[in-house]
Amino acid sequence: MNETDKNWLTDHFSQHVLFDEPMWRHTTFRIGGPVDAMITARTEQEIRDLVVWAHTKGHPIMIFGAGSNLLVLDGGVRGIVLKLADEFEAIHFMPRVNGTGAVITAGAGVLVRQLGKYALDRGLAGLNFTLGIPGTVGGALRMNAGAWGECVADSIISIRVINRYGDIADISRDQLKFSYRRLDLEKDTIILNGRIKLKRADREALRQEAIRMQKRRRLNQPLSLPSAGSVFRNPPGQKAAGELIDQAGLKGLRVGEAEVSTKHANFIVNNGQAKASDVIDLIRQIQKTVFERFGVNLEPEVTIVGQEAHS
């Protein structure tokens, strides 16, 4: 990115642009090299101006939320990394006329667990599973985040998106292709918000369910160490990825300061200064061993972005 481009970004985003910002500061893994420019956009107009400019200049834009499903490589990210704030952190609530539930519009920058708590406090069912997920609404939609048989796709009515030309559209549920931990979107599509429909339920029963779910997470997941959640997708028709890794005897396997969690084999934890290259090395070793033992190809669930460091 040349000085003229940096000046354009500074003129438009002042303190909301950071150059050469280390991505480890913005991921739950605490791993990742520097990005050329990190921008925090606060309005749709700001995003529109940015995407149109970046497209004409040929700068790629990577949108991210809470960085809780990301492994950013040690060489960092070229181009622009975009984060959403302000307008995109709002929740709008609309009770349904017959009192059976509500429609909620949540900005893509809202934390899903905050949205889950918001619904729980109002006695609305369907989002308790989000309570331990550290992502944003945008990231949860893109990943079709889920747990214990429930997922984001279950309650969605529509999403609002912007493409690389600055066109904004609302896409209804029947036009959205959700699958296991995935929403298919055209390349470079940025989700701006999501509308969801929730049913009213017994508040105390919901509260008890939420407590049970959170307890289960605390028991099974290594929540005190940095990670990106489950590293591999569960292979269809097979045992869960974590079970296969555990049965292959890989719990506790280390490369540098990256380690296969001893608590949950599908988590890789960062014991301090782990590099992305350590995690990649571990991922490859796990894939090789699980394939040799069980003939199963484990595919990463974690989104790997950026470029390797030059040695």
Would you name the residues annotated as active-site residues? Answer: 181, 230, 301
Does 107 participate in binding ligand FAD (rule CB under 6 A)? no
Applying CB under 6 A, among 191, 198, 253, 268 the residue interacting with ligand FAD is 191
Does 34 participate in binding ligand FAD (rule CB under 6 A)? no
Identify whether the C-beta of residue 130 lies closer than 8 Å to the C-beta of residue 115.
yes
Does 134 participate in binding ligand FAD (rule CB under 6 A)? yes
Chain CA centroid to CA 204, Å: 30
Closest CA to 287 of 227, 224, 210, 235: 235
Minimum distance from CB of 193 to ligand FAD (Å)?
9
Spatial separation of the C-alpha atoms in residues 108 and 130, rounded to whole Å: 14
Spatial separation of the C-alpha atoms in residues 236 and 20, rounded to whole Å: 40
**Residue in the block written with tokens 């070793």:** 285
Q: What are phi and psi of 300, to 5 degrees?
A: -60, 140
Applying CB under 6 A, among 143, 156, 244, 268 the residue interacting with ligand FAD is 143
- Which helix or strand (DSSP H or E) is residue 212 part of? helix 203-220
Binding mask 217-236 for ligand FAD (x = CB under 6 A): ----x-x---xxx-------
Binding mask 61-100 for ligand FAD (x = CB under 6 A): -xxxxxxxxx------------------------------
Closest CA to 250 of 308, 209, 290: 290
Spatial separation of the C-alpha atoms in residues 9 and 26, rounded to whole Å: 20
Binding mask 10-29 for ligand FAD (x = CB under 6 A): ------------------x-
Q: Measured from the CB atom, is 69 or 101 closer to ligand FAD?
A: 69
Chain residues that interact with ligand FAD, rule: CB under 6 A: 28, 62-70, 108, 133-136, 138-140, 142-143, 145-147, 181, 190-191, 221, 223, 227-229, 303
